[in-house]
Amino acid sequence: MKKFGKVVAVMMTAVMLLSGCGGTTGTSTENGTSSGLPAKVVVGTNAEFPPFEYMDDNGQPDGFDMALIKEVGKRAGFEVEIKNMDFDALLMSMSTGGIDMVIAGMTATEEKEKQVDFSDPYFDAKQVIIVKQDNNEIKTFDDLSGKKVAVQQGTTGDLSVTEGDPTCVVNGVDVKRMNKGADAVVDLINGGVDAVVIDLLPAKEFVEAHPDDIKIVEDNAVVEHYAIAMPKGSDELKKAVNDALASIKEDGTLDQLKEQYDATETVNK
């Protein structure tokens, strides 16, 4: 269902103006499920990351991740309520009980695993660089040294160019952090930065919306894995989520959702 070009174009136009089937594993009870899981799980996301999460024409969160977590809830036996917020606020909100779970194209890293429990991976991704169409100087991450680079704050793209972070791949970058990936891309188009570092599939959506202005620079970035985050010690919830994910993968539903939401881009492992 090819609808993200329109979604991204509308989202970025607004920014421009502002800037110038398996069964369930538990049955519901009044306060939870017969397996001890909650009857409802509040799931945090950041709906600025198409095709994984974005706001549909009715102002509701949609995308591959949204469809996936609803299917997980259906099979695990709990209702899913989606709560949209800034990406860098997600883990803090979960730690204070504001939300119960996070699905937001979030990469499972060793650093994050010190704070949260992650499900089994459900998607492979990698970082790429977006530059203006007439930029022939930047071709690899090494070329970003000494350049001004916009990123979405708190994402893997941010960490990959943040000197001192264990996952940093290049030093000497002047990092400009934005709340939304679309803001970063608009800043690039307007000449405020030299490049944007972001995940491959969102990058493709942004470039599709502005093909005359920007392009993707491919690079041999390390493959990363998206997973669902839960509070530390969520053993029962984690098992239910992993069981549901295994079922979704095994019966082909995961591949169907990837096809439906144009999330089928493969990466070199």
pTM: 0.82
Question: What angle separates helix 181-189 from helix 200-209, to the nearest 10 degrees?
Answer: 50
- What pLDDT is attached to residue 161? 96
- pLDDT per position as a tens digit, 114-145: 999 999 999 999 999 999 999 999 999 999 99
Please answer whether residues 94 and 104 qualify as being in contact, where contact means their C-beta atoms are separated by less than 8 angstroms. no
Say what the pLDDT of residue 223 is.
Answer: 87
Instruction: Name the segment(s) of the chain with CATH classification 3.40.190.10.
Output: 4-123+227-260, 127-217
Greatest alpha-carbon pair distance for the chain in Å reads 61
Length of the chain: 269
**pLDDT, tens digit, 9 for 90 and up, residues 153-181:** 999 999 999 999 988 999 999 999 999 99
Give the per-residue pLDDT at 12. 54
236 touches 119 (CB < 8 A): no
**CA 194, CA 149: separation in Å to the nearest integer?**
6
Give the C-alpha separation, 52 to 61, whole Å: 10
Fold of 127-217: D-Maltodextrin-Binding Protein; domain 2 (3.40.190)
Topology classification of domain 4-123+227-260: D-Maltodextrin-Binding Protein; domain 2 (3.40.190)
Q: What angle do CA 12, 213, 198 make, to 5 degrees?
A: 60
Mean pLDDT per block of 10 residues along the chain (269 residues) reads 46 48 41 71 96 96 98 98 96 98 96 96 96 97 97 94 92 96 97 97 95 90 92 97 99 97 69
